[in-house]
């Protein structure tokens, strides 16, 4: 219970507690200043410690802690040195308030972690500074002998908001700190060991952290390979090796030698401490010019890195303000460990390696560089979402059944590939999905679709990527999609969304005045104007545009079942067949139905020649069963007919061959057996239940199913460390014995080659007599009494031939 307060009531009813921000609070950290409000000027108050409060809010096990006389209505209470726990104010004018309602809790701030992750750091690197406390947001004061305010701000100013706490004592305040990991930059800090004092700005909590600053190794920077040679309109790749550093500077060109100069800051995601890392800088030779403005060039993505975790930044660029393209020729390359804006000597003094970038002129497009392709309609979504990071273009072509063609069925995909060793930089922006998004609306370089037929006094219709959708008739830049442009393979792949063009025409939208119709033939061409700045020398010299064209006919979807489907054999190899003009790889599904007999639905895919074959098993049915057949491809075209089953050939059973290894086992051998199985039918799957029993034990018991012409084998361990004797075996197929025999394991014997082998009987007077070929010819001494080794019959014949062969003795 609280003690009586002499001279007045035992409490101060109006008292409240505020933090440094003026917010009423009930909890504070030891060492903080607590502002007590609601006091009577000149009255005396006690601060009492309480171990706890009872259910009525009265203090338990309390004691006197401090006292003060109010000077006005507020009082600043310094809690430095107070124990953690509960404190309440006691004074006049209680009016019945409980002790607990006039209390606050005092707790201590704790540094769970406050220091550097490593014991040492080079004076050209960052160290990781870790903080973990029991507070949310707080301020810290940091200082260290030997470091002034500028040093401290250099170390901590990168990741913290800082302010000078005490300029004379060189103390820096880190403001609004939250727990986490931070960079501490020790670049250019003198070597030595530093002991940092880390103190809470408003509590008594403090700790220390030490780190030793050592002399950094001079980082090395050089080119990964010799001179770089690339074609204009492509992306040049410049490899930069960084040793014992993660940053460096690359200069492309010089004003004096190339009339163009770009300075780049290159950063490797890895620290490269005691090792070498490589940054592959990708230079888009088109975007790198961009009016000679550093900000424009940097934002255009002219320079990127192959590894997205690395980075490159254009820090300076020099060239003509109207520089729209980089010419052919040599561009000096150099790398340096340092650079300062406006101080060329800093870069030059730290230059470490040089090389050259050579830009060569384009070769003209081949007249047959463009090839038309088609793909199943249901593959278009996957084609449009192609990601070169997950799949190669060759893999895409295979997986999505993209095939060369001169005809395209309505709604199937129309794609064009372009074989070219240049122009790939125009498609380097991964975010640009169409010609329009890539900014390829120039007449100098465009894709065009031209009709072959026209009416009298009219030109054939033409659709082009030149212009825009508001002023250009038959503009299709937004319907020519960029699937992939692979510079290393020299291949581009575009999807022409002609269905979208047809929709625009039907809706009288986007100035599409002509429709792309079925039963019409079109020329698809990629064109480079002879006067374009990137035109080939051949085009400029001959004053002829570069044009590469392929022809394709758009057809209605056609789908026909063969007349042979009117008589399907009642066999396991019944085949529904037909032909179509839809894209190879399109799935075809049929429904074969005979009321009261069978209903089957199977699928297959259209082959490259436009045919399809769907397998059915009608072996359980007889001839003269009527049926209806309907088949449909994924795009909706279908056909149907009625037919009747005819007699079919029965499938032959599987064939088996059992062999041991070794062929002539002796005592101590490990013996295995192999069952070779083959389907002798050219077509039709056969399934049989196979059991192999050896010496009374079932070693294999499973179903074997093989397609027509297929084969397989089954291996089993028969004996390990074999003992002499005869071992019976049996191969059972579908419950019937297919083959059986005996495996004999022989004792190793000296009889082989003994006198008995060529005894007097051999060639004796009996030779040529009735005895010729008798038992004497291969008498018991020749080894017959020892048993026949291996699986075997016909051993006498083997002996006569003098060969070490073994055959299977089959007891059927």
Write the pLDDT tens digit of every residue in 193-220: 999 999 999 999 999 999 999 987 767 8
Task: Compute CA 377 distance to the chain's CA centroid, rounded to the nearest angstrom.
Answer: 26
Q: How many angstroms separate the CA atoms of 225 and 211, rounded? A: 39
Nearest to 31 by CA among 204, 261, 171, 251: 204
pLDDT at 175 over 90: yes
Q: DSSP label at 633?
A: E
Cα-based angle 160, 164, 165 (whole degrees, multiple of 5): 110
Task: Compute CA 402 distance to the chain's CA centroid, rounded to the nearest angstrom.
Answer: 23
Kindly tell me the sign of the dihedral angle through the C-alpha atoms of 108, 109, 111, 114: negative
Instruction: Tell me if 641 sits within 8 A of 561, measured CB to CB.
Output: yes
- Cis omega (within 30 of 0) for bond into 662: yes
Task: Compute CA 778 distance to the chain's CA centroid, rounded to the nearest angstrom.
Answer: 73
| 3-state class (DSSP) for residue 512 | coil
Q: Which two tokens stand for residue 548?
A: 């590469």
pLDDT at 271: 63
Nearest to 565 by CA among 507, 503, 627, 474: 627
pLDDT at 758 over 80: no
- For the chain, the domain total comes to 6
Burial 186-207 (b: 16+ CB within 10 A, else e): beebeeeebebebbbbbbbbeb
Instruction: Tell me if 741 sits within 8 A of 810, measured CB to CB.
Output: yes
Which stretch of 13-17, 487-491, 579-583, 631-635 has the lowest confidence by average pLDDT?
13-17
pLDDT at 405 over 50: yes
User: Domain check: are 283 and 385 in the same one?
Assistant: no
Backbone phi, psi, residue 238, to 5°: -115, 115
pTM, rounded to two decimals = 0.63
Mean pLDDT of 184-193: 93
The residue among 3 and 301 whose pLDDT is bigger is: 301
Instruction: Tell me if 105 sits within 8 A of 20, measured CB to CB.
Output: no
Q: Which two tokens stand for residue 151?
A: 């040093």
pLDDT at 776: 41
Q: Give the contacts of 245 (CB within 8 A, at least 6 positions apart).
A: 124, 219, 220, 221, 272, 337
pLDDT at 321: 66
pLDDT at 675: 95
Average of per-residue pLDDT values in the chain: 87
User: Domain check: are 375 and 522 in the same one?
Assistant: yes
Domain range for 333 is 220-319+328-360
CATH label of the domain that carries residue 628: 2.60.40.2550
pLDDT at 528: 96
Instruction: Tell me if 568 sits within 8 A of 616, measured CB to CB.
Output: yes
Task: Compute CA 358 distance to the chain's CA centroid, rounded to the nearest angstrom.
Answer: 33
CATH label of the domain that carries residue 181: 2.60.40
User: Domain check: are 465 and 512 in the same one?
Assistant: yes
Nearest to 47 by CA among 97, 100, 87: 87
Indicate whether 809 belongs to any domain: no
Q: Which of 34-38, 93-97, 638-642, 740-744 has the highest mean pLDDT?
A: 638-642
User: Domain check: are 678 and 568 in the same one?
Assistant: no
Instruction: Tell me if 37 sits within 8 A of 87, measured CB to CB.
Output: no
Burial 745-773 (b: 16+ CB within 10 A, else e): bbeeeeeeeeeeeeeebeeeeeeeeeeee
pLDDT at 93: 64
Q: How confident is the model over 543-577, as pLDDT tens digits?
A: 999 999 999 999 999 999 999 999 999 998 899 99
Nearest to 720 by CA among 756, 672, 760, 752: 672
Backbone phi, psi, residue 718, to 5°: -90, -50
Task: Compute CA 323 distance to the chain's CA centroid, rounded to the nearest angstrom.
Answer: 39
Q: How confident is the model over 603-657, as pLDDT tens digits?
A: 999 999 999 999 999 999 999 999 999 999 999 999 999 999 998 777 789 999 9
Q: Which residue among 58, 85, 107 closes a domain?
A: 107
pLDDT at 484: 94
Q: How confident is the model over 18-71, as pLDDT tens digits?
A: 998 899 999 999 999 999 998 999 999 999 999 999 999 999 999 999 999 999
CA distances from 764 to 516, 767, 801 (A): 100, 5, 20
Backbone phi, psi, residue 170, to 5°: 55, 55
Indicate whether 628 belongs to any domain: yes
User: Domain check: are 525 and 383 in the same one?
Assistant: yes
Which stretch of 59-68, 90-99, 299-308 has the lowest confidence by average pLDDT?
90-99
Indicate whether 792 belongs to any domain: no
pLDDT at 774 over 60: no
pLDDT at 218: 66
pLDDT at 454 over 90: no
Which stretch of 131-140, 150-159, 297-306 has the lowest confidence by average pLDDT?
297-306
pLDDT at 749: 65
Q: Which residue among 615, 647, 679 closes a domain?
A: 647
Q: Which two tokens stand for residue 522?
A: 């079109």
| 3-state class (DSSP) for residue 784 | helix
The residue among 195 and 708 whose pLDDT is bigger is: 195
pLDDT at 11 over 70: no
pLDDT at 765 over 50: no
User: Domain check: are 531 and 422 in the same one?
Assistant: yes
Q: How many CB atoms lie within 10 A of CB 335?
A: 25
User: Domain check: are 688 and 600 in the same one?
Assistant: no
Indicate whether 405 belongs to any domain: yes
pLDDT at 781 over 50: no
Q: How many angstroms separate the CA atoms of 231 and 239, rounded? A: 17
Q: Give the contacts of 106 (CB within 8 A, at least 6 positions apart).
A: 27, 28, 29, 30, 79, 82, 83, 84, 85, 86, 87
% of the chain at pLDDT higher than 70: 87
User: Domain check: are 532 and 629 in the same one?
Assistant: no
User: Domain check: are 403 and 307 in the same one?
Assistant: no
User: Domain check: are 378 and 512 in the same one?
Assistant: yes
CATH label of the domain that carries residue 693: 2.60.40.10
Q: Which residue among 498, 520, 555 closes a domain?
A: 555
pLDDT at 783 over 50: no
Indicate whether 761 belongs to any domain: no
Query: Torsion over CA of 39, 44, 46 and 47, rounded to 10 degrees?
Result: 40
Indicate whether 768 belongs to any domain: no
H or E element in which residue 232 lies: none
pLDDT at 325 over 60: yes
Backbone phi, psi, residue 379, to 5°: -95, -10
Which stretch of 502-516, 528-542, 655-669, 729-743 has the lowest confidence by average pLDDT?
502-516
Label residue 293 by pLDDT band (50, 70, 90).
Answer: low
Burial 12-33 (b: 16+ CB within 10 A, else e): beebbbbbeeeeebeebbbbbe
Q: How confident is the model over 103-113, as pLDDT tens digits?
A: 999 999 999 99
Nearest to 704 by CA among 731, 672, 730: 731
Q: How many CB atoms lie within 10 A of CB 524?
A: 22
Indicate whether 247 belongs to any domain: yes
| 3-state class (DSSP) for residue 166 | strand
The residue among 785 and 295 whose pLDDT is bigger is: 295
User: Domain check: are 585 and 715 in the same one?
Assistant: no
Show the beta-strand stretches assigned E in 12-137: 16-18, 27-29, 33-37, 44-50, 52-53, 59-60, 63-69, 75-78, 85-90, 103-107, 111-116, 120-122, 126-133
Query: Torsion over CA of 601, 605, 611 and 617, rounded to 10 degrees?
Result: -30
User: Domain check: are 493 and 462 in the same one?
Assistant: yes
Mean pLDDT of 478-482: 95
CA atoms within 13 A on the CB side of 409: 20
Indicate whether 802 belongs to any domain: no
Cα-based angle 84, 85, 89 (whole degrees, multiple of 5): 115
pLDDT at 587 over 60: yes
């Amino acid at each position: 219970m609280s003690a009586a307060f002499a001279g007045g009531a035992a409490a101060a009813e109006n008292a409240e507690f505020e933090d440094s921000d003026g917010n009423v609070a009930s909890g504070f950290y030891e060492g903080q200043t607590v502002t007590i409000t609601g006091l009577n000027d000149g009255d005396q108050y006690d601060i009492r410690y309480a171990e706890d409060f009872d259910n009525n809010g009265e203090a338990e096990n309390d004691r006197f802690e401090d006292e003060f006389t109010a000077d006005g209505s507020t009082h600043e209470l310094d809690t430095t040195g107070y124990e953690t726990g509960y404190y309440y104010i006691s004074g006049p004018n209680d009016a019945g308030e409980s002790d607990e309602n006039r209390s606050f809790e005092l707790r201590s701030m704790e540094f769970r972690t406050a220091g550097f992750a490593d014991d040492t750091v080079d004076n050209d690197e960052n160290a990781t500074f870790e903080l973990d406390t029991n507070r949310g947001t707080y301020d810290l004061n940091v200082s260290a002998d030997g470091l002034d305010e500028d040093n401290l701000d250099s170390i901590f100013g990168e990741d913290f908001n800082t302010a000078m706490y005490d300029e004379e004592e060189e103390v820096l305040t880190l403001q609004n700190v939250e727990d986490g990991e931070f960079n501490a930059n020790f670049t250019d800090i003198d070597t030595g060991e530093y002991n940092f004092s880390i103190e809470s700005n408003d509590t008594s909590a403090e700790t220390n952290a030490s780190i030793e600053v050592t002399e950094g190794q001079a980082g090395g920077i050089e080119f990964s390979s010799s001179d770089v040679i690339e074609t204009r309109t492509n992306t040049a790749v410049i490899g930069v090796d960084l040793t014992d550093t993660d940053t460096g500077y690359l200069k492309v060109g010089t004003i004096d030698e190339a009339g163009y100069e770009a300075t780049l800051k290159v950063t490797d995601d890895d620290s490269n401490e005691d090792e070498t890392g490589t940054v592959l800088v990708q230079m888009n030779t088109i975007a790198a010019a961009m009016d000679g403005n550093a900000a424009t060039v940097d934002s255009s993505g002219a320079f990127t890195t192959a590894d997205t975790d690395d980075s490159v930044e254009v820090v300076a660029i020099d060239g003509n303000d109207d520089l729209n393209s980089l010419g052919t020729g040599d561009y000096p390359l150099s790398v340096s460990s340092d650079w300062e804006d406006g101080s060329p000597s800093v870069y030059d003094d730290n230059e470490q390696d040089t090389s050259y970038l050579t830009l060569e002129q384009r070769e003209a497009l081949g007249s047959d560089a463009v090839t038309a392709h088609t793909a199943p309609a249901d593959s278009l979504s996957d084609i449009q979402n192609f990601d070169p990071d997950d799949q190669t273009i060759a893999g895409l072509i295979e997986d999505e059944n993209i095939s060369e063609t001169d005809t395209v069925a309505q709604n199937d995909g129309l794609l064009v590939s372009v074989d070219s060793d240049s122009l790939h930089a125009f498609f380097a922006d991964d975010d640009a999905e169409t010609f329009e998004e890539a900014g390829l609306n120039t007449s100098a370089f465009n894709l065009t679709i031209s009709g072959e037929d026209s009416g009298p006094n009219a030109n054939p219709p033409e659709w082009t990527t030149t212009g825009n959708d508001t002023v250009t008739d038959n503009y299709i830049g937004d319907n020519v999609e960029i699937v992939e442009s692979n510079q290393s393979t020299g291949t581009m792949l575009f999807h022409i969304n002609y269905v979208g063009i047809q929709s625009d025409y039907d809706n009288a939208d986007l100035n599409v005045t002509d429709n792309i119709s079925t039963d019409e033939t079109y020329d698809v061409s990629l064109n480079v104007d002879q006067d374009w700045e990137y035109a080939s020398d051949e085009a400029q010299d001959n004053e002829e545009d570069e044009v590469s064209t392929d022809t394709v006919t758009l057809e209605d979807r056609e789908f026909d079942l063969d007349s042979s489907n009117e008589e399907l054999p009642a066999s396991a190899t019944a085949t529904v067949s037909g032909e179509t003009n839809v894209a190879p790889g399109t799935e075809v599904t049929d429904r074969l139905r005979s009321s009261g007999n069978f209903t089957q639905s199977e699928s297959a895919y259209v082959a490259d020649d436009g045919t399809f074959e769907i397998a059915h098993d009608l072996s359980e049915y007889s001839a003269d069963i009527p049926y209806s057949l309907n088949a449909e491809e994924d795009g909706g075209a279908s056909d149907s007919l009625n037919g009747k089953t005819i007699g079919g050939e029965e499938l032959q059973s599987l064939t088996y061959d059992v062999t041991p290894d070794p062929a002539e086992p002796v005592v101590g051998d490990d013996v295995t057996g192999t069952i070779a199985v083959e389907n002798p039918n050219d077509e039709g799957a056969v399934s049989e239940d196979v059991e192999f029993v050896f010496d009374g034990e079932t070693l294999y018991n499973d179903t074997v199913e093989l397609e027509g012409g297929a084969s397989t084998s089954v291996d089993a361990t028969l004996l390990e460390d074999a003992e002499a004797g005869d071992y019976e075996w049996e191969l059972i197929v579908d419950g019937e014995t297919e083959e059986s025999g005996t495996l004999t394991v022989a004792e190793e014997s000296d009889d082989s080659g003994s006198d008995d082998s060529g005894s007097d009987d051999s060639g004796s007077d009996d030779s040529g007599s009735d005895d010729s070929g008798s038992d004497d010819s291969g008498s018991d001494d020749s080894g017959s009494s020892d048993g026949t080794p291996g699986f075997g019959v016909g051993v006498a014949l083997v002996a006569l031939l003098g060969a070490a062969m073994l055959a299977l003795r089959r007891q059927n």
